[in-house]
Structure 1
Amino acid sequence: MALHRTSLPRTAEAVALLELREAIVRGDLAPGAPIRQSAAAEELGLSVIPVREALKTLAGEGIVTYVPQRGYTVTELDPRGVEGIFRVRELLEGEAEANAAARMRPEDIAALRGALDAQRAAVAATDVQGVITGNRRFHFALLNRCDNEWLLRFVTQLWEALEPHRALSYRRGAAAGDYARAEAILAEHDAIATAFENARIPDALRLLAEHRSGGLADFQRLLTPAEQNK
């Protein structure tokens, strides 16, 4: 399962939550994969109780699914479910971006560029985890400037629900040697960063909305059976 016990002082439940979440985002636990509580507890050197509580938290976020008599699995989404998530993202994330854009500082714009540079280096190195991390850093360099705590919390939850599938998408592309979409995302991020650098906020927000639409199309292709994509 590739869980790794952190050395930082945290409660047992916090350790389990962090490690399970990161294993899912890394793709070590792919959509549909079962999560055995006893096995996870053994790998982390914890009792089953904090692992169970962590899984309940992840289930509340929609990242894992619980089925009686079967236990927990990493949530599998279908095209309709993804469309629902992106529709809510369009409403909430667009609002959060507009809120944050009005409060961007030079150091925040520099953070956008730093995240983009890291993402570009990861694409060049075919480092899937680095690409995912850089992508998230880029978007949250903006989103973290949102001063509505609840809005940011819900947007973050929507991101978390999609991360396992984002990891799967990048890995499939890397396995096939297809980096065209990764390069396109870099170009889109560069245009967004440039718009912020030139204080063209309406353009930046428009580009972010278009970028989100492209993300929906990516997920729809990922989740549509291959024969339907021909």
Structure 2
Amino acid sequence: MASRPFQKPPTQVEAVLLELRRALLEGDYPAGTRLNVDGISKTLGVSRAPVRDALRILEGEQQVIYEPHRGYCVPEMRLDDLFDLYRIRELLESEAAALAVPLLTPDDIAALRTSAEVVSRALAEGNRVTATYANRELHFRLFESPGHEQLVTSIRQAWNADAYRALYLRDLESAAASAREHDAIVDAAAEGDVSRVILLQNAHRDGELRSLLRMLTDRFPGAEDTATEQWRATTGVEAFAETA
């Protein structure tokens, strides 16, 4: 028998979890959607048990919430909560980058460049799921450093808690423009320029928020103007970060 790596097939829970993650990323379940365990189990051809187990995992990640007597649903988010989430990310991600960037190896930089290429290529092909995971891989490589696992866990929880995650790649043209900013971030990381990485990272994140707010105009009229005021109040700066 030919020697080859053995890949263990996923359990039913893992398979259901993978499909639910895909559905959440692609917007099949918008914010506020109730998740019917019976309906999901019938659609996927599995029993209720692995669906419930997968939903419990997603609940632990804050991607879904459980309400007594009503079941699981995709959480909605107030505008103030969204701003708080981005402020939390700015603080935690800046600290994480300051710790991680000086420790990056040539192999890490090569991996960052590969992830950036995968994001751009996937967006050009309209593959939102691949782009999303490659984007996460890129950014979290800039956050991870030995001995600071709890910091990274907190950042991951903040990413997962964003009720509007499915909207970020809806506009592929805007997403592709945002993805092109990755190259400058990686170049700064390769030079070990921590301050530049944080500056570019902040501008990249703020551009992401502006793009999201434009898509939420119907839900939150005047949201982008409100965001500028909120940022001024919480950070003391006049507007979103700039790359200059």
Structure 1 length as normaliser, TM-score? Answer: 0.80
8 Å Cα contact 2:64-2:73 kept in structure 1: yes
Structure with greater Cα Rg: 2
Q: Equivalent residue of 2:72, what SS?
A: strand
Query: Percent of aligned pairs with the same residue?
Result: 36
Runs of at least 5 residues in structure 2 that lack an aligned partner in the other structure: 1-6, 225-244
What residue number does 1:203 align with? Answer: 196
Residue 56 of structure 2 corresponds to residue 63 of structure 1: no
1:23-172 alignment to 2 at 5 Å? 23-145=23-145, 147-162=147-162, 165-171=164-170
Please give the alpha-carbon distance, in whole angstroms, between the structure 1 residues aligned to 2:123 and 2:9.
33
Q: Residue 211 of structure 2 is aligned with which of 178, 194, 218?
A: 218
8 Å Cα contact 1:132-1:167 kept in structure 2: no
1:43-101 per-position Cα deviation (integer Å, ceiling 9, x unaligned): 44443233223323322332112333332221222322211211221222222222211
Please give the alpha-carbon distance, in whole angstroms, between the structure 1 residues aligned to 2:160 and 2:220.
29
Please give the alpha-carbon distance, in whole angstroms, between the structure 1 residues aligned to 2:150 and 2:206.
24
Q: Equivalent residue of 1:101, what SS?
A: helix
8 Å Cα contact 1:146-1:152 kept in structure 2: no
8 Å Cα contact 1:122-1:131 kept in structure 2: yes
1:158-204 per-position Cα deviation (integer Å, ceiling 9, x unaligned): 11223x62332322x24xxxx1x224312321111111222322211
Q: Which moved more, 1:103-112 or 1:84-93?
A: 84-93
Q: Equivalent residue of 1:228, what SS?
A: coil
Please give the alpha-carbon distance, in whole angstroms, between the structure 1 residues aligned to 2:64 and 2:219.
25
Aligned length: 217
Please give the alpha-carbon distance, in whole angstroms, between the structure 2 residues aligned to 1:90 and 1:38.
39
Q: Residue 185 of structure 1 is aligned with which of 159, 169, 178?
A: 178
Please give the alpha-carbon distance, in whole angstroms, between the structure 1 residues aligned to 2:141 and 2:27.
23
Runs of at least 5 residues in structure 1 that lack an aligned partner in the other structure: 1-6
More helix by share: 1
Please give the alpha-carbon distance, in whole angstroms, between the structure 2 residues aligned to 1:214 and 1:15.
34
One-letter identity of the residue aligned with 1:205:
I
Q: Equivalent residue of 1:23, what SS?
A: helix
1:98-136 per-position Cα deviation (integer Å, ceiling 9, x unaligned): 221121111111111111111221232233233323322
8 Å Cα contact 1:144-1:152 kept in structure 2: yes
Please give the alpha-carbon distance, in whole angstroms, between the structure 1 residues aligned to 2:26 and 2:8.
20
Q: Equivalent residue of 2:38, what SS?
A: helix
8 Å Cα contact 2:102-2:192 kept in structure 1: no
Structure 2 length as normaliser, TM-score? Answer: 0.76
Please give the alpha-carbon distance, in whole angstroms, between the structure 1 residues aligned to 2:20 and 2:62.
14
Please give the alpha-carbon distance, in whole angstroms, between the structure 2 residues aligned to 1:115 and 1:153.
20
Q: Equivalent residue of 2:54, what SS?
A: helix
8 Å Cα contact 1:79-1:223 kept in structure 2: no
8 Å Cα contact 1:37-1:52 kept in structure 2: yes
Q: Equivalent residue of 2:180, what SS?
A: helix
One-letter identity of the residue aligned with 1:39:
G
